[in-house]
Amino acid sequence: MAYAIYATEPGGTENLVRKEFELDGPAPDEVSVRQTAVGVNFIDIYIRTGGYPWPVDNNLVLGCEAAGVVEAVGSGVSGLREGDRVAYVVKNGAYSSHRNVAVSNLVHIPDGVSDEVAAACMLKGLTAYYLIHNSFNIEAGHKVLFHAAAGGVGLIAGQWLAARGATVIGTAGSDEKCELALENGYEDVINYKTDDFVAGVKALTEGSMVDVVYDSVGAGTWPDSMHCLKRHGTIVSFGQSSGAVEDFKISDLAMGSFYLTRPTLFHFLDDREWLENASTTLFDFIGSGRLNIAVNQTLPLEEAAKAHQALEGRNTTGSTVLIP
Ligand SMILES: NC(=O)c1ccc[n+]([C@@H]2O[C@H](COP(=O)([O-])OP(=O)(O)OC[C@H]3O[C@@H](n4cnc5c(N)ncnc54)[C@H](OP(=O)(O)O)[C@@H]3O)[C@@H](O)[C@H]2O)c1
């Protein structure tokens, strides 16, 4: 019998419950997937707690990325067959043993990339892709500050930015996390729980500061992130793990003629050509050994609540994967 982890209403992890269900056959443009690995992301926490809009009245299945095997194919589907290994990013519905997915959201997982790795990197790796290629076009020689460097997106981005020739400074919340980030592309990492990261960036860049700050922490790093930029620098604000920034005025950008963008992966995913290019690049990068995906926490799907507690408690590094 298929089962999923439902959130009964916005709130704490006590609202996550296991329920069995009968999966309908796929619609003409869908396939049925037996899921083998499900990625956990901070967006799941924003949605579970009601920080991001709650899309249905109740009984929401969380989860936005997964990998699995095609078990049945809709009547209008071409290019996918029973037995194919596939992965996807879709808003919600992934904390499930089985589900139907629209073909437009799916990509094949190549040989040489495991299901666990695919589930750990679809959302985070495609995010790293757009941060580096689309939100700011990173070139060799750019200086970068990346917050939460030892996290899921952070460990991927550090390696990728370094491969593009950027000099990357990270921040992280413990000395152990700083060490890990240093092994993943970061040239220097500042423990922002114990040290002033603006002073750190100033010292490390000998006062020239950075071209771009990638800030997914939000309230906890704002407005200091702006103080790390060189004139005409860019802030890419792409998350709020410590809470939303609430005291920002457009005129704040005038302190250095700064640029600010607030992107979301789902807007890139709507473009099928972008998804194919970005996922091919991501999987090639992994397959060739240039990008390591650190699956540092693996739990049964039934323990999704435990995974949430660890992620929101800042007790994880790299990616977390749930196994149905
Ligand atoms: N906009 C998009 O398209 C997009 C897509 C993917 C991810 N994101 C964002 O990118 C960020 C990283 O996502 P992820 O899933 O890879 O998570 P993650 O980085 O593995 O976990 C979040 C990290 O944020 C840091 N943090 C700082 N203050 C925190 C606080 N008060 N509470 C909790 N964590 C805090 C922690 O690292 P330290 O202990 O080292 O500080 C924590 O490990 C999230 O903000 C997420 O929403 C955005």
Work out which ligand 1 atom sits closest to the CA atom of 153: 16
pLDDT at position 56 is 83
User: 216: CA distance to ligand 1 center in Å?
Assistant: 6
- Kindly write down the DSSP assignment for every residue of 160-222, as one continuous string: HHHHTT-EEEEEESSHHHHHHHHTTT-SEEEETTTS-HHHHHHHHTTT--EEEEEE-SGGGTT
From 293, 314, 316, mutation site for ligand 1 pocket: most ligand atoms within 8 A of C-beta: 314
Q: All domains of the chain, ordered by start, with CATH?
A: 2-122+266-323 (3.90.180.10), 140-262 (3.40.50.720)
- Kindly write down the DSSP assignment for every residue of 291-314, as one continuous string: S---EEEEEEGGGHHHHHHHHHTT
**Residue minimizing CA distance to atom 18 of ligand 1:** 151
Alpha carbons 200 and 207: distance in angstroms, whole number: 10
pLDDT tens-digit series, residues 228-264:
999 999 999 999 999 999 999 999 999 999 999 999 9
pLDDT tens-digit series, residues 105-149:
999 999 999 999 999 999 999 999 999 999 999 999 999 999 999
Q: What is the pLDDT averaged over residues 41-50?
A: 97
From 121, 153, 193, mutation site for ligand 1 pocket: most ligand atoms within 8 A of C-beta: 153
User: 120: CA distance to ligand 1 center in Å?
Assistant: 15
The mean pLDDT of the chain is: 97
